[in-house]
């Protein structure tokens, strides 16, 4: 599974790593966290210029023509810097939804802005009552002439408040928990009847609650087919899981390596902490768990790139492990840094918080264990 | 009626008549009765409850009456705690005064020191903080470098303390200082007290990942304190300091009967839902909550047994390390479970989307991560148990 990177992939990985080195020192990041949008529009433009926003857009449509493996390479590096820009929301999920579901005409309208960064998407799929079940959708859309009329409520929409358009899942027929009867559509963020309430999450990132009150959406904004959106929804969520899992693996690498370095520097009882065997073993555990997570990430990503939703079981295993291992590595990194581990000053705590949020995105560790067993 | 039943009836009547109804509800963090010169009472009943208890000596019921206590014996304390729990009463007063420096002064202080400080502590007039850790002295506390130099009637203190809980609100500090730089590290330390308003004391809060700043750095620059503020003998401060850590560990570990709070089961029912039989619908979550509950039960029994054995002098002091280790691991485990129960409702940092208790749970979860570090890390507790109780070699 130790796959060879192509020359192009190697170039992308290197350029993302350089970007993180240059722009994402902790202090610089925390300044961005404190701003209103919570990320840098300059960085966002840089990502557009470097072609990252078109990573999985086909070459024929002006993109790089990559797949989930390319996204993984970028996200793993992003995880090392805890990148704040809406890459997952707008590019991995939003742009992907357009590529997979939009008509040629809609693609032509949207893609230029998506590739140059002037257009930003968010993915409004989660609902509070659903407890991570994707098919549990109460938000509904009724057909009225050439429009859908949308009513309902979406929660935890990553970067919802800064998006220009939202990809929304709605029920067009069937019961609350049916997989049939789900439709995806693209909704302008400034439509009449839409209310977007942004809020910060514990990891310093941005999310929103979105309420739709008789929002009119032209049928031309349909993504995929009416009533048959569940597979598309699932494909997007799978891509989202792979992306945040790669980010988590990057963050875990920082945590275990920082911990090894810190214990070599910090002395107590006349010895470096790293000389205490009980702490050595703890760090070995962290390292081994990180390796496990990385193996699952590579495996799941390759499987999805090759067989799409056929790889679902491996994806459940991956997300289960990412949640469990993320907390384990984060907790031990904090413990081994002592009091410093819980301060704002060191980066440890910030990575730990991000891992916590990643566990809660697209279904947590427990949820995916149940799905794996089912 | 036996004497104890008469006593219980008296306590029950007094509590019924004197504990304000608002003080029988779960205590929000911002109504914690820490007291002190700059005490702010967000709920006026907190002040009423503190004063009524202090008048009777009930804030520190086991202390002798002349020091502000009620002079209750072991059996009476048990009754007092049971009756408090019966009406779910909030503690009238909390803090390092009653849980740490008070017991240390009772054990090691001179009569003058006891009379000067204990009644003030009992009334909640003085907020105490603990000057222990330093940037280079954490787990290896005895390597501390803050110095106190003999200068006539005073000591002159210089150094840098860190993780000082509540130093920005505290009125007095109890502090470990080095008084003999040439002695082996445990034998050149003394235990001194000083007023935080003394010239030369500087305090800077440390910002934590929970967004709170419960700890501070404390800078001591030529701080003078009278030699009458030395507790126990010169260069014997480690004995006091170590003993006090045992009180601290016992209190972080959860000894002393907490108020009832909303159970994990109740959270699970509310956020995850129930099946047709009314059980929490997620099977693996149900198992985890039960497992946690059983550990809680066993831990509570261990605490109770140890408290009974210590009354008869049979429990080793090092057992407080077990309480500290187990109690903090349980607390961290509780918050892990709560977080997984709350799901995405646990990732908020602000805004109207989240209920107040959801936002505070997230921060409390982050705060709980320091439990296994403060007051001696879990690793240090395991070492103490290995060496002091199991007599394993260094």
Q: Which two tokens stand for residue B239?
A: 């004995």
Asked if B139 lies within 8 A of A269 by C-beta distance, the reply is: yes
Confidence bin at B260 (pLDDT 50/70/90)? low
Region B176-187 average pLDDT = 96
Contacts of A203 in chain B (CB under 8 A): 347
Is A190 an 8 Å CB contact of chain B? no
Q: Which residues contact A309 (CB under 8 A, 6 or more apart)?
A: A231, A234, A235, A238
B2/A38: higher pLDDT: A38
Confidence bin at B282 (pLDDT 50/70/90)? confident
Q: Which residues contact A11 (CB under 8 A, 6 or more apart)?
A: none
In angstroms, the CA A292 to CA A359 distance is 16
pTM given for the model: 0.88
Confidence bin at B258 (pLDDT 50/70/90)? low
Confidence bin at B247 (pLDDT 50/70/90)? confident
Q: Which two tokens stand for residue A174?
A: 């069937």
CATH architecture observed for domain A7-120: Orthogonal Bundle (1.10)
- A11-37 residues labelled b (16+ CB within 10 A) or e (exposed): ebbeebbebbeebbebeebeebbeeeb
Which pLDDT tens digit goes with each residue over A87-126? 999 999 999 999 999 999 999 999 999 999 999 999 999 9
Does a structural domain hold residue B122?
no
Confidence bin at B255 (pLDDT 50/70/90)? very low
CATH architecture observed for domain A231-373: Up-down Bundle (1.20)
Residue pair A189/A145 in contact (Cβ under 8 Å)? The answer is no
| Nearest CA-CA distance, residue A190 and chain B, Å | 20
Residues B227 and B287 in one domain: no
Asked if B340 lies within 8 A of A278 by C-beta distance, the reply is: no
Residues B281 and B383 in one domain: yes
CATH architecture observed for domain A122-228: Beta Barrel (2.40)
pLDDT at B256: 45
Share of chain B above pLDDT 70, in %: 95
Which pLDDT tens digit goes with each residue over A255-274? 999 999 999 999 999 999 99
By Cβ distance, the residue of B215, B282, B344 closest to A156 is: B344
Does a structural domain hold residue B242?
no
Residues B220 and B277 in one domain: no
By Cβ distance, the residue of A344, A357, A364 closest to B340 is: A364
Length of chain A: 374
Spatial CA neighbour of B119 closest among B49, B67, B54: B67
pLDDT at A2: 55
In degrees, rounded to 5, the angle at the alpha carbon of residue A47 between the alpha carbons of residues A23 and A78 is 55
Arithmetic mean of pLDDT over chain A: 96
Does a structural domain hold residue B114?
no
A300/B271: higher pLDDT: A300
Which pLDDT tens digit goes with each residue over A43-90? 999 999 999 999 999 999 999 999 999 999 999 999 999 999 999 999
Count the Cβ atoms, other than its own, within 10 Å of residue B98: 26
Asked if A131 lies within 8 A of B273 by C-beta distance, the reply is: yes
Contacts of A244 in chain B (CB under 8 A): none
State how far the alpha carbon of A337 is from the alpha carbons of A4, A260, A273, A347, B374, in Å.
36, 10, 10, 11, 12
In angstroms, the CA B293 to CA B299 distance is 10
| Nearest CA-CA distance, residue A260 and chain B, Å | 17
Region B63-92 average pLDDT = 92
Is A352 an 8 Å CB contact of chain B? yes
Nearest C-alpha in B relative to A266: B136
Asked if A342 lies within 8 A of B354 by C-beta distance, the reply is: no
What is the distance of C-alpha B61 from the center of its chain?
Answer: 17
CATH code of the domain covering residue B32? 1.10.540
Contacts of A127 in chain B (CB under 8 A): none
In angstroms, the CA A285 to CA B113 distance is 50
Does a structural domain hold residue B255?
no
pLDDT at B251: 67
Asked if B343 lies within 8 A of A357 by C-beta distance, the reply is: no
Region B44-66 average pLDDT = 95
Length of chain B: 394
Residues B10 and B69 in one domain: yes
B299/B196: higher pLDDT: B196
Task: Measure the N-to-C terminal CA separation of chain B; round to a whole number of Å.
Answer: 55
- B262 pLDDT more than 60: yes
Helix (H, G, I), strand (E, B) or coil at B374: coil
In angstroms, the CA B132 to CA A350 distance is 27
CATH code of the domain covering residue B352? 1.20.140.10
Interface of A with B in 20-49 (CB under 8 A): none
Confidence bin at B316 (pLDDT 50/70/90)? low
Residue where a domain stops, chosen among B39, B68, B94: B94
pLDDT at A335: 94
Residues B75 and B154 in one domain: no
- Tell me how many domains chain B contains: 3
By Cβ distance, the residue of A335, A357, A369 closest to B284 is: A369
Region B333-355 average pLDDT = 87
In angstroms, the CA B61 to CA B39 distance is 22
Share of chain A above pLDDT 90, in %: 94
Domain residue extents for chain A: 7-120, 122-228, 231-373
Q: What's the domain range around B301?
A: 262-389
In angstroms, the CA A251 to CA A238 distance is 20
In angstroms, the CA B327 to CA B300 distance is 9
By Cβ distance, the residue of B162, B351, B373 closest to A199 is: B351
Nearest C-alpha in B relative to A127: B344
State how far the alpha carbon of B154 is from the alpha carbons of B122, B149, B193, B229, in Å.
27, 8, 12, 9
In angstroms, the CA B34 to CA B128 distance is 9
Q: Which two tokens stand for residue B212?
A: 């709170």
Spatial CA neighbour of A236 closest among A103, A364, A96: A96
Residues B370 and B267 in one domain: yes
In degrees, rounded to 5, the angle at the alpha carbon of residue A260 between the alpha carbons of residues A254 and A264 is 140
CATH code of the domain covering residue B135? 2.40.110.10
Asked if A339 lies within 8 A of B162 by C-beta distance, the reply is: yes
Arithmetic mean of pLDDT over chain B: 90
Residue pair B230/B155 in contact (Cβ under 8 Å)? The answer is yes
| Nearest CA-CA distance, residue A335 and chain B, Å | 7
Bridge partners for A272 per DSSP: A267
Nearest C-alpha in A relative to B206: A343
| Nearest CA-CA distance, residue B91 and chain A, Å | 28
Region A227-245 average pLDDT = 98
Region B64-80 average pLDDT = 92
In angstroms, the CA B321 to CA B393 distance is 18
Asked if A131 lies within 8 A of B272 by C-beta distance, the reply is: yes
Residues B372 and B272 in one domain: yes
pLDDT at B313: 59
In angstroms, the CA A256 to CA A298 distance is 19
Does a structural domain hold residue B105?
no
Region A197-215 average pLDDT = 96
Count the Cβ atoms, other than its own, within 10 Å of residue A3: 10
Is A331 an 8 Å CB contact of chain B? yes
- B105 pLDDT more than 60: yes
Does a structural domain hold residue B370?
yes
pLDDT at B315: 56
In angstroms, the CA B247 to CA B240 distance is 11
Spatial CA neighbour of B235 closest among B147, B131, B138, B172: B147
Substitution target in A129, A161, A202, A340 with the highest count of B β-carbons within 10 Å is A202
């Amino acid at each position: 599974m130790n796959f060879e990177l192509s020359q192009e992939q190697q170039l992308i990985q290197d350029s993302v790593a350089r970007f993180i080195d240059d722009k994402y020192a902790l202090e610089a990041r925390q300044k961005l966290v404190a701003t209103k949008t919570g990320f840098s529009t300059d960085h966002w433009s840089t990502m557009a210029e470097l072609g990252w926003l078109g990573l999985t857009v086909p070459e024929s449509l002006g993109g790089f023509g990559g797949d989930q493996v390319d996204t993984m390479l970028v996200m793993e590096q992003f995880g090392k810097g805890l990148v704040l820009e809406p890459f997952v929301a707008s590019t991995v999920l939003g742009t992907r939804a357009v590529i997979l579901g939009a008509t040629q005409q809609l693609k032509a309208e949207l893609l230029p802005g998506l590739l140059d960064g002037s257009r930003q998407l968010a993915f409004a799929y989660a609902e509070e009552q659903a407890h991570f079940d994707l098919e549990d959708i109460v938000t509904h859309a009724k057909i009225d002439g050439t429009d859908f009329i949308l009513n309902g409520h979406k929660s935890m929409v990553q970067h919802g408040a800064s998006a220009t358009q939202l990809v929304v899942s709605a029920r067009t027929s069937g019961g609350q928990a049916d997989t049939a009867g789900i439709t995806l559509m693209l909704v302008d963020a400034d439509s009449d009847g839409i209310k977007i309430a942004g809020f910060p999450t514990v990891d310093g990132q941005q999310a929103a609650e979105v309420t739709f009150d008789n929002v009119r959406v032209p049928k031309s904004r349909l993504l995929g087919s009416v009533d048959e959106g569940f597979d598309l929804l699932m494909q997007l969520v799978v891509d989202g899981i792979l992306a945040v899992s790669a980010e988590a693996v990057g963050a875990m690498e920082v945590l275990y390596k920082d911990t090894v370095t810190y214990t070599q520097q910090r002395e107590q009882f006349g010895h470096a902490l790293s000389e205490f065997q009980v702490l050595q073993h703890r760090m070995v555990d962290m390292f081994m768990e990180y390796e496990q997570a990385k193996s699952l990430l590579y495996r799941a990503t390759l499987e999805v790139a090759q067989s799409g939703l056929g790889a679902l079981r491996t994806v459940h295993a991956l997300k289960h492990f990412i949640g469990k291992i993320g907390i384990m590595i984060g907790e031990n990194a904090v413990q081994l840094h002592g009091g410093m581990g819980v301060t704002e000053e060191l980066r440890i705590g910030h990575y730990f918080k991000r891992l916590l949020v990643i566990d809660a995105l697209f279904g947590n560790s427990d949820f995916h264990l149940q799905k794996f067993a089912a | 009626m036996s004497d104890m039943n008469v006593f219980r009836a008296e306590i029950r009547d007094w509590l019924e008549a004197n504990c304000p109804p608002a003080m029988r509800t779960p205590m929000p963090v911002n109504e914690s009765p820490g007291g002190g010169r700059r005490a702010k009472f967000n709920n006026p009943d907190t002040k009423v409850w503190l004063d009524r208890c202090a008048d009777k000596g009930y804030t520190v019921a086991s202390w002798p009456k002349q020091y502000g206590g009620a002079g209750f014996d072991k059996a009476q304390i048990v009754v007092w705690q049971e009756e408090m729990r019966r009406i779910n009463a909030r503690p009238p007063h909390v803090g390092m005064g009653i849980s740490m420096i008070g017991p240390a002064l009772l054990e090691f202080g001179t009569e003058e020191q006891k009379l000067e400080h204990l009644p003030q502590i009992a009334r909640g007039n003085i907020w105490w903080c603990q000057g222990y850790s330093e940037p280079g002295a954490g787990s290896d506390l005895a390597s501390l470098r803050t110095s106190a130099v003999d200068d006539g009637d005073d000591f002159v203190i210089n150094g840098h303390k860190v993780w000082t809980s509540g130093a920005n609100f505290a009125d007095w500090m109890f502090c470990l200082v080095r008084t003999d730089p040439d002695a082996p590290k445990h034998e050149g330390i003394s235990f001194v007290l000083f007023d935080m308003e003394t010239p030369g004391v500087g305090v800077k809060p440390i910002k934590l990942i929970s967004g709170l700043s419960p700890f501070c750095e404390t800078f001591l620059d030529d701080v003078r304190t009278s030699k009458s503020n030395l507790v126990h003998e010169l260069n014997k401060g480690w004995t006091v300091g170590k003993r006090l850590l045992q009180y601290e560990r016992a209190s972080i570990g959860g000894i002393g009967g907490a108020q009832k709070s909303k159970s994990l089961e109740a959270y699970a029912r509310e956020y995850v839902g129930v099946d047709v039989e009314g059980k929490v619908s997620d099977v693996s979550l149900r198992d985890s909550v039960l497992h946690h509950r059983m550990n809680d039960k066993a831990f509570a029994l261990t605490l109770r047994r140890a408290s009974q054995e210590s009354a008869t002098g049979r429990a080793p002091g090092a057992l407080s390390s077990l309480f500290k280790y187990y109690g903090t691991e349980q607390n961290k485990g509780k918050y892990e479970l709560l977080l997984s129960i709350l799901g995405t409702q646990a990732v908020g940092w602000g805004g109207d989307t989240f209920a107040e208790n959801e936002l505070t749970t997230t921060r409390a979860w982050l705060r709980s991560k320091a439990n296994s570090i403060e007051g001696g890390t879990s690793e240090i507790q395991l070492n103490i148990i290995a060496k002091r109780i199991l007599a394993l070699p260094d």
